[in-house]
Amino acid sequence: MSSAKPFQLNDSDFTYDFDEEAGGFGVPYEVPAHQRTHAAPGEDEDPADHAGPSLLLRASLGMVVVGVVALLLQVSTGKLLGSWGGLLLGLVLPSVGTALYFWERYRHLSAGIKNDGVFFSGTRNRGLIGWLVGVGMTAFYVALYWFPSYLGYTPAVWDEYGMVSDVQVSGLTLLVDPLARLMTGAPADHWFAYTVLYTLAVVVFGVRMMMRYRNNPYQLIRTASVMFFQTGLAFVLPKLLKSFQQPEFYPTYFWPLKRDVLLPGDYGMNWTATEAAGQVGVWMLVFAGAMTFLATPVLTYLYGKRWYCSWVCGCGGLAETLGDPWRHLSDKSTRAWWIERIVIYSVLAVIVFLTGLLWLNHVRGGELLGGFGASLERHYGFWIGSMFAGVAGVGFYPLLGSRVWCRFGCPQAAILGILQRFLSRFRITTNGGQCISCGNCSTYCEMGIDVRAYAQRGENIVRASCVGCGVCAAVCPRGVLKLENGAGVLEEQRYTS
């Protein structure tokens, strides 16, 4: 060889053996809080460094503990259950405590991206606690759909001679009963309890989301929006309507996500069935139709699918709040992208086909399908409505990320996505050559979009699945990404490379 003096490698580089498959680096040792110091050496240490959690933080945790204990005691002894006092102690107290905890915890951190330690947390990375939470949430959904007695709602039992046992309400369902009576004038069932918990989750974790991104007005306004739509239009309004003997109408859900609003006859809402509901029912039907066929394409053209998926929709609302701690778990591989497209468009095809078939059957007076129609509808409801949207969609948050349903299953998202991909001004633009391929954007994209793949080539991101949550743009440390409602053609030529 031509080299006169041999090239010497640094010894430690030479012996280094980084195992790429194993990921290379584990969870770090954490300095115990009492050993931490931010005082300069020689200076007196600031006692605040060792003070531990603030008073408010302790108080908020206390509220959560007292509330949960109160809840367990109520459910096990039956005491207080069903009274306003019980509701306050067992539900409101721990919820307020949790919200306060998030507020206090993030308030002291500087405003900015707070992802330190996310990948070291077992809760957030399929560690033991992560799995337990996932199994727990899944079990909750299984109970909700098929074993409601575990949630305190035992349906009435009938035999051929009449009712054997009446509806029995206990546990969680009884806990929210006073609220149900106040809002709907009727006793609570497990669905009411579910809606209450759902809304609370959106609000409480909404506080967390807002505190985490409090430097970012887009995130603040968007989170406030999903909190508002869930509380106002997906909870209070339908329940009040019910109290006025009107159909329990959810104005934030349309066909095909809420398929029954446009299904015929008995399969659907049967809008005009009752005399009393007739008038309002017609209006609701008109509204539902307008949302599906008019508002959806127009708003999606103007703003992208985000106007619905991350501003209005309750499923999206839950994913953006309760689901946020797990958003990075979405699979970014091209394989996952393939699966996504196959599955979601299949679901869309099935619901379109099903809706068409049921209408045809309806027009023909039921002769086409007979009892088969009902069975088809039931199957769709079981597999797509319950198993996919609920059990897998929410139950698996801590295992597969927060948008499993939205990404792989939701027929609404499929339609909005097609519109967004081909008929929308919305895109995420890339700031010239500033991308350093760090991967924060892809990592924190809940829809599993490999944002970096586009950004590092200076390309805009126009993807059917993007829900416009804006988190990729927020976490980008180099200011590379911007959600835009496309400008005029001229500008477009100018800003894209």
Partner 1 sequence: MHIAILGNGITGVSAAIRLRELRPDWSITMISGESTYHYSRPALMYIYMGHMGYAETKPYEDSFWGQQRIDLVRGWVTAVDTDARRLELADGRELEYDQLLLATGAKPNKFGWPGQDLEGVQGFYSLMDLERLYRSSEGARRGVVVGGGLIGLELAEMLHSRGIAVTLLVREDSYWNNVLPDEESAMVTELIRAAGMDLRLGVELKEVLDDGTGRATAVVTSEGQRIDCQVVGLTAGVSPNKALAEAVGVPCGRGVLTDSSLRAKVPGVWAAGDCAELETPGEERNMIQQVWYTGKAQGRLAAEAMHAEAEGHALPTYDPGIWFNSAKFLDLEYQTYGQVGFHLPGEQHLVWQAPGKLLRIVHIDGRVVGFNAMGLRWRHLVCEDWIREARNVDFVLAHLEDAGFDPEFYSRHEPEMRRTFADQLAKQTEPALSGQEA
User: Vertex 495, ends 491 and 497: CA angle to 5°?
Assistant: 135
Quote the CA–CA distance of 289 and 355 in Å, as a whole number.
14
Closer residue to ligand SF4 (CB): 37 or 434: 434
Q: Tell me: does residue 328 bind ligand SF4 (CB under 6 A).
A: no
Q: Tell me: does residue 228 bind partner 1 (CB under 8 A).
A: no
Q: How far is the CB of 477 from ligand SF4 (least distance, A)?
A: 6
Per DSSP, the residues of 295-344 read: IHHHHHHHH-THHHHTTT-HHHHHHHHTTGGGGGGS--SHHHHHHHHHHH
Q: Which residue has the tokens 């809940």?
A: 446
Q: Tell me: does residue 488 bind partner 1 (CB under 8 A).
A: no
> Which span sits near partner 1 by CB under 8 A: 150-158, 237-245, 352-360, 433-441?
433-441
Closer residue to ligand SF4 (CB): 115 or 375: 115
Among 115, 165, 279, 375, binds partner 1 (CB under 8 A): 115
Q: Tell me: does residue 480 bind ligand SF4 (CB under 6 A).
A: yes
The single-letter code of the amino acid at 146 is W
Task: Give 88's DSSP letter.
Answer: I
Among 68, 436, 453, 462, binds ligand SF4 (CB under 6 A): 436
C-beta separation of 84 from 91 below 8 A: no
CA 396 to chain centre: 11
Quote the CA–CA distance of 150 and 171 in Å, as a whole number.
8
Among 76, 274, 375, 434, binds partner 1 (CB under 8 A): 434
- Among ligand SF4, partner 1, none, the one that 471 touches (CB under a kind-dependent 5 to 8 A) is ligand SF4
Q: Tell me: does residue 470 bind ligand SF4 (CB under 6 A).
A: yes
Binding residues for partner 1 restricted to 116-175, rule: CB under 8 A: 116-121
Q: How far is the CB of 454 from partner 1 (least distance, A)?
A: 11
Q: Which residue has the tokens 């006859």?
A: 265
Q: Tell me: does residue 493 bind partner 1 (CB under 8 A).
A: no
Tell me if residue 154 falls in helix, strand or coil. strand
Quote the CA–CA distance of 482 and 251 in Å, as a whole number.
30
Quote the CA–CA distance of 392 and 333 in Å, as a whole number.
20
- Among ligand SF4, partner 1, none, the one that 445 touches (CB under a kind-dependent 5 to 8 A) is ligand SF4
> Which span sits near partner 1 by CB under 8 A: 16-24, 149-157, 181-189, 253-261?
16-24
- Among ligand SF4, partner 1, none, the one that 288 touches (CB under a kind-dependent 5 to 8 A) is none
